[in-house]
Chains A and B, each alone.
Chain A
Amino acid sequence: MTRDLWKHLILIFGALIVIAPFYMMISYSFKSPGEIDRGEGGFFGRQEMMVDERCVKLRDPDRDDVATAAPRFPNQTDRQIRDALVAEAVADCQMRPIVFNYTKAFTEAPLLRYLLNGVIVTASIFLIQIVVALPAAYALAKLKFWGREAVFSIVLFCLLIPVHAIALPLYIMLAKVGLTNTYAALVVPWTISVFGIFLMRQFFMTVPDDLIDAARMDGMGELAIVWRVMLPTAIPALLAFAIFSVVAHWNDYFWPRIVVTGNRDLFTPPLGLREFKGDGDGSFFGPMMATATVIVTPLIVAFLVAQRRFIEGITLSGMK
């Protein structure tokens, strides 16, 4: 038991360091700017009502506002009406820091749009990867044809090339055909997953030939065999690959940073967060951390729900 105790102590110490930035990110997303500056309020902050200065400024009454409000305040001078209106604005602009941070996260920048872009990009990348890789993997695993060895050695060679490393020539090619700042630019370089081909080939090798022969007897074409026989047998491997692919591209920052410049409509979540940071004047720590929390949460929650699958998927590259 004592031996286990020091093990726990070491592991808990590590866990504290690992969790610290997550703790801080979530905690700041709950707190008011004052609490962040002074470092008070524990984890949740005190959640006292705070006034959104910007909202008050926007509602600053001008001459017309005072005139239209005059009937509501009979027998008062303009000055008094103005003060009353400002007081109303302040009352309306009061909110809890947590509400303030999260509404700002979604209203200051089109965060929903960014999230949607993230979903569109990761989903298209994954689908195209499958459509391209599965038939090739099947042919390499189960069909005999002249040149198979050559194709497979190209696959093995391409495994050596990280796509991030050749970002510059890819960027030049995309710029030459005028595709920068499009969805295509975000997706195209990832459409071919050499790793996916390799992985699915290894998996298909284990599928018995009898299954394929039986399908041929039934008069199925090779393409139909890929989608109706091989695909269903490969669901576990495919799921692992899906997690691998989605995690990598949801979190990717380098490539979107290169091909998307300025056009906010195409921003993926990390780019949106980056822009938020660039705009920040210091008082926006809360909303920025709220944005970060919103971006990180989907994958973390999915991971906590289906841990085993996720660890399998992410460490897939280790199964070679």
Chain B
Amino acid sequence: MDIDETHTPNVVYAETAQHRTAWWLTAPALCLMILILLVPVVIAGILSFTDYSLGNDTFNWVGAKNYDRLFSSSTYEKMFIATFTYVVTVVPLSVGLGLGAALLINSMGRIGDIYKTIYFLPVMATLLAMAIAWEFMLHPSIGMVNRTLEMSCGTVLEFIPFLKNGCAERFPLWLGDRDYAIWVICFIGVWQGFGFNMVLYLAGLTSVHRELYHAAEMDGAKSAWEGFRLVTWPALGPTTVFVVTISCIRAFQVFDTIEAFWPQGGGPNKSTYVMMFAIFEKGIQQNLIGIGSAITVLFLVFVMFLTLIQRWLVERKVHY
């Protein structure tokens, strides 16, 4: 008891000291978090109800007018269509291809590492540079894509309607064609992103125990498909939740390719006018901060909603 009593003041002192140091250690991070992440969210929220523009000293409250415009004007309708088309196309394809590649590579041992390396290259490469490379590939007359397609002219492959039309008249302009532009953007998105999903799935696959497959076989799972359905897919549940969320968030943020291909206006007939580009064009280039902020707020709502669903799924440990 004696010892305890003599110690108590010291312990209390040590605890307040630790308390204070702890705050000193967290303070810089806390301040920056508030200043750089939280304050801007609040500012965007406030400005989205005003007609503010940089250079003006004052602004007027305009109520929900900016949001009204987002949901009534045809330009923004195109923006939502382009964004969702992109997300809904790129996410399933890049997740599916990532999973497929991971399963194939996982089943073939060391030699599969070569493919892993190759598929991961686009993840590392500067997207803007690769976008410019793709632009040359897709050049209507001297691009590699149309040149390759032309080689099929006069061969049996011409029974495919697409090639037949192309040979008879001309092959698509790709980036200049409003029917193709958004799909080309989607394609590049998948091309760039599926390698990332693949390595996440490969990491997930290493945690699937071999015994589980034997157990499933005992239970009558004969085909590879049954093994996949009963063992692999459920075991990959948490990975899938994560991969889908992060793919969605990345897909929402598509910008580099679109700005590189169409510096003005978001593609033929605004068919690739995605949200990030709209924020950039309206808010920064045209100084229409109110409308830009409204898009920012909607964007944040989408992204936060997605992440919250992910956390909810992870916490419930859902294995679907």
Per the 8 Å Cβ criterion, residues 2-54 of B in contact with A are 15, 18-19, 21-23, 25-26, 28-30, 32-34, 36-41, 43-44, 47, 54
Known A20-B137, A274-B260, A315-B199; contact A166-B40, beta-carbon cutoff 8 A: yes
Known A11-B101, A247-B124, A254-B276; contact A24-B137, beta-carbon cutoff 8 A: yes
Binds A, one of B78-86, B209-217, B226-234, B248-256: B248-256
In the complex, the answer to whether B126 meets A296 with C-beta atoms within 8 Å is yes
B 163-202 binary contact with A (CB < 8 Å = 1; else 0): 0000000000000000000000000000100011001100
Given the complex of chains A and B, what is the CA–CA distance between A251 and B256 in angstroms? 10
Known A24-B136, A168-B289, A300-B124; contact A15-B304, beta-carbon cutoff 8 A: no
A 126-169 binary contact with B (CB < 8 Å = 1; else 0): 00000011011011100111111001001100111111111111
Minimum C-beta distance from B218 to chain A (A): 23
Which one of B22, B126, B130, B276 lies within 8 Å of A250 (CB-CB)? Answer: B126
Given the complex of chains A and B, what is the CA–CA distance between A42 and B241 in angstroms? 44
Minimum C-beta distance from A143 to chain B (A): 4
Q: Which residue of B lies closest to A26 (CB)?
A: B133
In the complex, the answer to whether A315 meets B200 with C-beta atoms within 8 Å is yes
B-side contacts of A318, CB under 8 Å: 200, 203, 239, 242-243, 246
How many B residues are at the interface, by size bracket?
35 or more
Which one of B54, B108, B118 lies within 8 Å of A19 (CB-CB)? Answer: B118
A 47-61 binary contact with B (CB < 8 Å = 1; else 0): 000000000000000
Please report the total number of A residues contacting B with Cβ < 8 Å: 93
Q: Which residue of B lies closest to A175 (CB)?
A: B54
Given the complex of chains A and B, what is the CA–CA distance between A49 and B300 in angstroms? 55
A-side contacts of B129, CB under 8 Å: 25, 270, 273, 292, 295-296
Per the 8 Å Cβ criterion, residues 27-48 of A in contact with B are 28, 36-37, 39
Known A39-B142, A161-B300, A173-B40; contact A21-B289, beta-carbon cutoff 8 A: no
Q: Does B67 contact A (CB under 8 A)?
A: no
B 250-273 binary contact with A (CB < 8 Å = 1; else 0): 000101100110010000000000
Given the complex of chains A and B, what is the CA–CA distance between A28 and B143 in angstroms? 11
Q: Does B223 contact A (CB under 8 A)?
A: no
Q: Does B64 contact A (CB under 8 A)?
A: no
Minimum C-beta distance from B59 to chain A (A): 12
In the complex, the answer to whether A169 meets B32 with C-beta atoms within 8 Å is no
Given the complex of chains A and B, what is the CA–CA distance between A132 and B29 in angstroms? 6
Q: Does B93 contact A (CB under 8 A)?
A: no
Known A36-B142, A165-B303, A194-B33; contact A296-B118, beta-carbon cutoff 8 A: no
Minimum C-beta distance from B306 to chain A (A): 9
B-side contacts of A175, CB under 8 Å: 54
In the complex, the answer to whether B249 meets A222 with C-beta atoms within 8 Å is no
26 residue pairs from A and B, CB less than 8 Å apart: A14-B101, A18-B119, A36-B142, A132-B28, A136-B25, A136-B29, A139-B26, A140-B26, A146-B19, A154-B38, A159-B307, A160-B303, A160-B304, A166-B296, A167-B284, A168-B293, A172-B43, A192-B33, A222-B18, A226-B25, A251-B125, A253-B259, A314-B124, A315-B196, A315-B203, A318-B200
